[in-house]
A and B are shown apart, each in its own frame.
Chain A
């Protein structure tokens, strides 16, 4: 997918592209260009860390300013996770919230000029489908977290029992290997669908913006105008919406997988919580 020679639409140049063009003899710049997806994801991480640090410096009981904003985000997301998972959602909200914020910031990086979203990086694989280099590890992390959370909540026996389909009748015990295979295939398909959905949406959006930029540059060149009109502006707003929604859907699906697989609480404990 990065074969610029056979594609007519290339991706928009990033800072590392420009550096690589101007200093093409330097090994350091080549190394920086090769790992540019990593640097951009580090930028996203550093941005979130700096934001959190700046917001929690004062730790006043009645929050104002940045601390207020951050508490609004965290509290809103925790409420949302608890509305799906119940009171035990408080334990899982940090991981899911981190997923949401990290993926949202990474998606939005693709809209900044001279920056690229690391979510759109992929390598061609022998299976035909491209392997996304950032979303596949994220999806594997999410599915692994769900399985490990179920393992911790239900113990090894509870986890295997759930994987066998929770058989109570003798017939269900007979078909349990089939259900085990289905569940394992289901976990693989969760990884596949999570990664491909996020990758395809953000890659398509960024490719759309790249095509619009190239077309508008050609148009302005044909009109003999200097390239001053940002004709891709409406698509940037669409990219804002898509980035936010895809991050939200990723974390929502992780929450739903958790809600489906975690063992049900006892009725007395549930009634005590809801009071």
Chain B
């Protein structure tokens, strides 16, 4: 364990992966809801499937962006370890 002024490295090493994992967990829940409602909508109206797919893709990209922000912070601070 690094002591003294290198303490922050141990803290970063513990909490960075936890942070990314928490963000991945949250976005997995959100994406699961989005995809499941898209599936239900497609089952109700199969002829609108491509339209629903496009809207679902847009929503998923927006939700995924939040996890990507966390990953960027992880890369930024991971470089400081």
Contact = CB atoms under 8 A, between A and B. Distances in A.
A232 B57 CA distance: 24
Interface stretch (A46-54, A94-102, A122-130, A141-149): A122-130
B11 to A, nearest CB: 16
| Majority-rule SS of B interface residues | helix
Interface residues of A, number: 22
Contact of A1 (B58, B62, B75): B75
B79 A129 contact: no
A94 B57 CA distance: 23
B71 A124 contact: no
Interface in A217-266: 245-246, 248-249, 252
Given A1-B79, A7-B79, A249 B72 contact: no
A129 B76 contact: yes
B72 A201 contact: no
B65 interface: yes
A199 interface: yes
B71 A200 contact: yes
B69 A196 contact: yes
Contacts of A248: 57-58, 61
B76 A246 contact: no
B79 A249 contact: no
Contact of A124 (B58, B73, B76): B76
B13 interface: no
A6 B9 CA distance: 13
B79 A200 contact: no
A3 interface: yes
Contact of B72 (A7, A200, A246): A200
Interface string B53-67: 000011001101100
The 3 closest A-B pairs by CB, nearest first: A200-B68, A197-B65, A249-B61
Interface of A: 1, 3, 6-7, 124, 128-130, 193, 196-197, 199-201, 203-204, 207, 245-246, 248-249, 252
Interface of B: 57-58, 61-62, 64-65, 68-69, 71-73, 75-76, 79, 81
